[in-house]
Structure 1
Amino acid sequence: MRSAAEIRRDFLDFFVTKAGHALVPSSPVVPLDDPTLLFTNAGMNQFKDVFLGRGSRPYRRAVDTQKCIRAGGKHNDLEDVGRDTYHHTFFEMLGNWSFGDYFKREAIEWAWELLTGVFHVPEDRLYATYFAGDARNGLEPDTEARELWKKHLPASRVLPGLMKDNFWEMGETGPCGPCSEIHFDRIGGRDASDLVNKGDPDVLEIWNLVFIQFNREQDRSLRPLPAKHVDTGMGFERLVSVLQERRSNYDTDLWAPIFSLTHDTTGAREYRGRLDDPIDVAYRVIADHARCLTAAIADGAQPGNEGRNYVLRRILRRAVRMGHQNLGVREPFLWRIVPAVAQTLGEVFPEMRAKLPRVQEIIREEEAAFGRTLERGLALFDEAVARGRARAGGGARAGAGDAAPAGAHGAGGAGSA
């Protein structure tokens, strides 16, 4: 079984050695020159100027693993993290790119070769979607993508999709185009075509191939682009779960070192992977949020009161509350877990190792300040509860011979508490 590090390396190496792609480093999760973004939330962010025709690169093919955060604005996964097995605030997006070079045929052929020939994903568990067209926008079905997929998959597993799932747009205006998703059935041995894009956790999208060939104009019309581009994205954590045959993203070797250090640091029982267990929910929240905070702080952000810094403060406080409420931790602990994040991600993102002392210092200070606030709040809450109980008890004694006044007094005490 491949480790997560080997899976990442094999993806990047495939496109570098076989298809001549330039290996491009991840851009920071803190956007340097895009005021419209809180955080880098997709692989295409660093190539946005190329797609808009405002910039260029010294290469026409690229491959990368991009650090992404989705915890605010349109893309906000924060409240889902920990409560299921596949949402994350921080994740890696693997991608290969063509800027006016290759197009649908190569993108689909290479995706198939990598998944089935290199990663040995069972062919009978794969499904592909293509754009079914949209009369309102004057768009024909993407028959080219459909026929390319039918070379590899039976027609029953090449499925049409509507604008919502199979037409990608950068925004209200700008580059856009049809896309083709690759889905994987974790169960196998069945026809899961009716479950594709239905929210089933066992039939999941693993790769999206976007064919950028139009520009959405101000009047909402679509104009063909002079150069066609390819933008693909594959969630790394999800891919690792598929290749390591785990039904949860959190049950892979990406997370084990973080869970282990959380166990050692907090004294909580070991992680068991249960969905609704409050201790396991806390493990997932703490691990995910530690990764997110490490990535963001290493790239120059820090918890604060405005914008992305406020989002980071919310993330940190959510993790600390989980430690307090679900694991019974009273001392600062989150900063001690960060080294496990640097251990698992530092080889591919060396800034996480280089900035580790600074990351720990910022988290420790913020955590200590919030811990004091939590303790004060809990003390005030306990005092209020005690006062309410005393009033309720006194009311019961005073009203022993008169039920109505006792009931009124008790209700007033509960309300004031």
Structure 2
Amino acid sequence: MRQRSRTRFAPVAAGLFAGALLLSACGGGSAAADDGDATLTYWLWQDDSTDPTWTNLVAEFNEQSTSGTVEVQVIPLAQYEDKLLNALSSGGGPDAARFKDVWLGEFVQAKALAPLSERIAGWEGKDDVVPALLDAGKVPGDDEIYLMPHQYTTLYMYYNKAIFAAHGLEAPRTHEDVMAAAKTLADAGQFAIDVRGGVGGQDQWAAWMYSAGAQFVDESGKVTLADPVGVAANQDYLDLLRELEATPPGSITADFAAVRGNFLNGTTAMMIHHAGSLAAVREGLGDDVGVIPMPSADPAKPTTLGSMSGNVVFGASDKQDLAWEWVSWLLTHDPMLTMSTSPQGQLPVLTSVAEGSPFSDDEGLRVALDAQATARTWPLLPGTSTVVNKDWVPTLQSAFEGKVTSAEALEELSTVLAGK
């Protein structure tokens, strides 16, 4: 079996905790009151570097705030987490930052983040936030909320109606339907779906695993990914390529551009992605594109992967009051609508925005919004970031190549997820 990589957590955690103590000893922490001259350092990445939405929101907040101003630093997403880790471990870094849910376990265990539950309890805007999305800011075994939700997405399935009709197939409702359709299509010389074994494919795979009944962790937070249900679900994913030959050439290393290209040009008949592809597939396929929830092992208990970006406040900051004012202001109606309908927006976390246009009157967006009720995130464990950013690609590629079994691949990923 391929030698597994170790998580980077242990030395980083020690550095983060030491840095937090150092800054707190220098007079930081939430005890220090903000004043009108305070300047909050806020880090973020931009999915679309040409879009001025973030700049405009910062300017709007600064104009109306009497507590201080926000100063942003934009960092490319590919470098973002490492720069945060390095800055915080050396006693620097921002007061608050845009943040991905998969990073949460690592930073919470490092004691780098300020708990937000008490502030949320006294915040008048909390009732407008989808409750499950607030809970998604917790890590297993800890009731504190550390991540304020901001934007999220859920994965679902696109299918080509014309290809399905030509082969006498209906839209798949169950996991078994997908496997059966893949066999029918492959037998007829039509590729069914990409497995996207390249960078970024872990989310498509996680949506497959969840919808097929796999559990990444149990209620206590113990990693259970490699149980019999998980192994069988993963074996089906491997069999799409290995046994059914239902995937196009290059699928084992495909990135998203290749996956979407194959779906748009009719090479594949199905694609797992989210609403971010909705405009492109509608433009390319017109009425032939169908949008459906992830076909599940049990249609009465549908689920898929949900992914969230939000905001965190760092425990060593002496501007936590101003940081809270900023991140909670982003969760008011107008700023949320502005961001969610921007070129880099995703689904809104506020009920008041989700129930209005354009979200309430677009079928494709409604499928994504409805999926939120039962969607699950990657488990927010210390090793999740390492699996997502490093281990998943080589581990699954080894399984696709037959170098490791389905069980061995999941056991390897489980060990890293648990931070061992």
- Short-chain TM bin: under 0.3
Higher RCO (C-alpha under 8 Å, 6+ residues apart): 2
Structure number, greater radius of gyration: 1
What TM-score, normalized by structure 1, do the two folds share? 0.23
**Structure that is richer in strand per residue:** 1
